[in-house]
Structure 1
């Protein structure tokens, strides 16, 4: 599985669409990002249009032919929407079903009853970490955001006090712990042991998620004190509906079904590791994010809507209402992916790799810094992980098993550094939480930086001990 991923990534490598030198590319990147930020903050232009114009500026300054810059942008937009668009849509439908049936009320009321006050951020980070173990970050966000917003609203909590721990749990799992694709590809590239990397990844993740989640959320809530956006909050069930709410058990099963299916796929891939095996092929299908979420939506018709008295004629209108709020989000996330792809196609990622070859510093720190530089330039944690792992892989030849695993984790930690306007996840968080660009940087971007720095420091500390 991981070998296939590396081969596919290698096959996707293409010649840059411009012959610009490093200095010109650096200026192009800074100019493109500056235009995006200026258009959004100063001129209040919609983020989708700002990202589109910023991409054109990047391509023009980098000396790329306009037609090729446009092709890169549209390819990145299409790939991003194809990758996460259906997942966001299915998640929105499931969220609407949970809200209108009263299932979300059951979950939120139970959480509020079991965990309150100071323990709520810790409860959220635990829930997010468990759910985020087998899920792509975007899927975890889609599943958790309705619960985060309702807990914040219903319990009168600061949105950042509840939201940051949830995002931290998802992000740490995504960057550090297999079976997420980035760590898996890095493990294969470096030749590290999967089990050792998994164990050390969890060890690094625990202090990282505590510091970046519940602890940092105290300050994030002071810096950005915003209410949960009303347009994204599922409405509380009516008094009449409360008389026939779906049970807590069936509701929980419906929410966790995608998690179980995706985790089962990951475990089968690890245990069997044979793409031709029938069992693995079956789990590869039912455990894919789209099928897993689709299964939850279909199950929800019987576990959520039917007990709440929804007839067949009410299902289609419910789906339409669930999809309406996410149209803008899809375009913005897609445009972020288009900007990222243009950065890659103009050769910015390769520029960072070329410059870093001459750095004379310890291997683990070098791996972290290279991943940081590529992450800042391209906005993609996966691209940063794969590129950095490929560059430092030869240095792992004489490493012990534990240090090879730590090399993978150093790369993963660096790949999470300071998410900003060229990262689709930045726009996803901004839109779901109803923040402006500055507020997103003060919360989400700073949280990602804390994760990267703390995880990198823990990795370096472990390298001195084991």
Structure 2
């Protein structure tokens, strides 16, 4: 087929995917599979080979992502139930003081959202925002925008949160580079989109603590019933089911120490980063590099962190193994669909490779002189604005970009930067088709107009700042 024909098939496949998700309201996992089958048939893959192509695409993706996300989910759930996440927020606000509470809340959000879902982090930290708002008389947005900015950055940019892990898996990115670039892009995004914009918008929209704050969980779930961000919706359902147990446990147990919680969170990140660094500076065959490639692999690093959380956040604090089993088993509910959707994204990417679309995209990019990192950002942003789900946006963009990367020679750092570019594109312009829009709006008691003026603008700033950082860095990679 000609390059034009292959690109046209790709456009038709994406249009079908968006139609199924937005209009038909079909589950994203099934919609991705149907779109993949459609592209496979009209793209010329022999009918007898289509099933094997789907199996290979799904298997090669899930072999990595299922382990990383599964371990991260167990770790995050124990951090939440034990009160570790709450301790991070409380301690940072106390240490930074009221005058620097914006930075404290932003950094707390970033630390918490790395292993814990966005909505859970908001539920844990929003009482601090209410308390500060009452005490100072400032608009809630002065404190809430930095908090949700930190949560959004951690949720989108820094593994082991599912979004960047999913994209890294589909692109074959080294998770160490993804963590490094996620932090390099996320911190400026937090400063500008969270702290600076928070000060600006708080002067223009004054919010007091909403009277219905006690019913916030139930209201946020009802408000998002028509939204499509599968990661947040599933975790909301899990939060609803677990909330009574969590509150019961926290009411009778002291919070774990701040130092211990931060150490457990930092261990896998440091090990993965160290593995990446030593892989660059030490020669192949070096025994230190060989052992670090094992210890610092995401599988090993996250297994170690999860086992440490079992002991220090579980057993040492009076939880029985039956309690830990119940908590960790419950943690798999919100991530099951994320894993399947990412696997379906792997199928989509595999089909595009087999039809020759990846080569056609690479040739079209070469002719247009458009950098692949910019294309990745634009695709993710377009899908994000169209259908709202950050997860589907990331997976769709990664599925399209993966074949392009396979046809060229791209360094490991550049692929890590492209991963963050996709995450940034999938962050911008959250509006009424995104569950996060309704979640934040209801917790702060905002109208749709004010949510657009605050939350939507904040998300867009984060996305553009994050992309600007990795785009500039890409010229040196």
The correspondence of residues 333-348 of structure 1 with structure 2, limited to 5 A, is 333-348=342-357
Q: Which residue of 2 aligns with 1:396?
A: none
After TM superposition, the score normalised by the length of structure 1 is: 0.64
Give the gaps of 5 or more residues in structure 1: 1-19, 133-139, 186-193, 394-404, 421-425
Of the three residues 255, 260, 280, the one matched with 2:270 is 260
Of the three residues 367, 372, 379, the one matched with 1:358 is 367
Q: Which residue of 2 aligns with 1:277?
A: 286
Would the aligned equivalents of 1:344 and 1:378 in 2 still touch at CA under 8 Å? no
Structure-1 separation of matches of 2:472 and 2:146: 25
The change in CA–CA distance for 1:124 and 1:258 in structure 2 (over 3 A counts) is farther
Structure-2 separation of matches of 1:335 and 1:299: 32
The correspondence of residues 309-388 of structure 1 with structure 2, limited to 5 A, is 309-359=318-368, 366=371, 379-380=398-399, 383=402, 386=405
Structure-1 separation of matches of 2:181 and 2:84: 37
- Please say which of residues 278-287 and 234-243 is displaced more in the overlay: 234-243
Structure-1 separation of matches of 2:27 and 2:64: 23
Deviations 1:263-305 (A, max 9, x none): 232232233x233222111111111111111111111222111
Q: Which residue of 2 aligns with 1:454?
A: 468
Of the three residues 22, 27, 30, the one matched with 2:3 is 22
Would the aligned equivalents of 1:103 and 1:246 in 2 still touch at CA under 8 Å? yes
RMSD: 5.0
Structure-2 separation of matches of 1:388 and 1:162: 41
The change in CA–CA distance for 1:322 and 1:386 in structure 2 (over 3 A counts) is same
Counterpart check, 1:149 vs 2:122: yes
The change in CA–CA distance for 1:381 and 1:260 in structure 2 (over 3 A counts) is farther
Deviations 1:237-258 (A, max 9, x none): 4377544433222222222221
The change in CA–CA distance for 1:318 and 1:206 in structure 2 (over 3 A counts) is closer
Structure-1 separation of matches of 2:26 and 2:181: 44
Task: Say how many residue pairs are matched.
Answer: 386
Would the aligned equivalents of 1:121 and 1:214 in 2 still touch at CA under 8 Å? yes
Would the aligned equivalents of 2:373 and 2:418 in 1 still touch at CA under 8 Å? yes
The change in CA–CA distance for 1:444 and 1:98 in structure 2 (over 3 A counts) is same
The change in CA–CA distance for 1:337 and 1:122 in structure 2 (over 3 A counts) is farther
SS in 1 for 2:283: coil
Counterpart check, 1:251 vs 2:261: yes
Structure-2 separation of matches of 1:161 and 1:384: 37
Q: Which residue of 2 aligns with 1:401?
A: none
Would the aligned equivalents of 1:384 and 1:415 in 2 still touch at CA under 8 Å? no
The change in CA–CA distance for 1:328 and 1:297 in structure 2 (over 3 A counts) is same
Deviations 1:155-176 (A, max 9, x none): 4678886444444467667899
Of the three residues 96, 100, 105, the one matched with 2:77 is 96
Q: Which residue of 2 aligns with 1:188?
A: none
Structure-2 separation of matches of 1:443 and 1:81: 34
Structure-1 separation of matches of 2:314 and 2:363: 56
The change in CA–CA distance for 1:205 and 1:99 in structure 2 (over 3 A counts) is closer
Give the gaps of 5 or more residues in structure 2: 131-139, 206-219, 225-231, 383-395, 440-450
Q: Which residue of 1 aligns with 2:391?
A: none
